[in-house]
Amino acid sequence: GRFSAKEAFSKATGYGIGEKVHWHDIEILNEPNGRPIMQVKNFRYKTYVAITHSGDFVNTVVIIERLTILERLSLKFFPKRGVL
């Protein structure tokens, strides 16, 4: 599931994996309730990920959303540490 989420992200951006984004730049974590979250190093857009399994099959959806002007200004003046 996590591998397919990284692959879905690479396809959603159109970059693929390689020069701009590497496998180790993409991290799939879990919130306390188990919901997956995606963090991508030096990527300044919101990412949403859904992963579902059924038997030997996995389905993954990644949505990329542009930050609002307020969110972009917030990152400019109050940058987060680590991955975004």
DSSP letters, 66-77, are PPPHHHHHHHHH
Phi, psi of 67 (to 5 degrees): -75, 150
How many domains would you assign to the chain?
1
Mean pLDDT, the chain, whole residue set: 86
What is the pTM (predicted TM-score) of this model? 0.74
Sign of CA dihedral 41, 44, 46, 48: negative
Look at 22-31, 52-61, 70-79 and tell me which has the smallest mean pLDDT: 70-79
Tell me, yes or no, whether 39 lies in a domain: yes
Average pLDDT over residues 32-41: 92
Residues facing 28 on adjacent strands: 38
Domain membership flag for residue 82: no
* Residue 72 domain-assigned (yes or no): no
Q: List residues with catalytic annotation.
A: 11, 53
Range of the domain at 24: 2-67
Q: Does residue 14 or residue 31 have the better pLDDT? A: 31
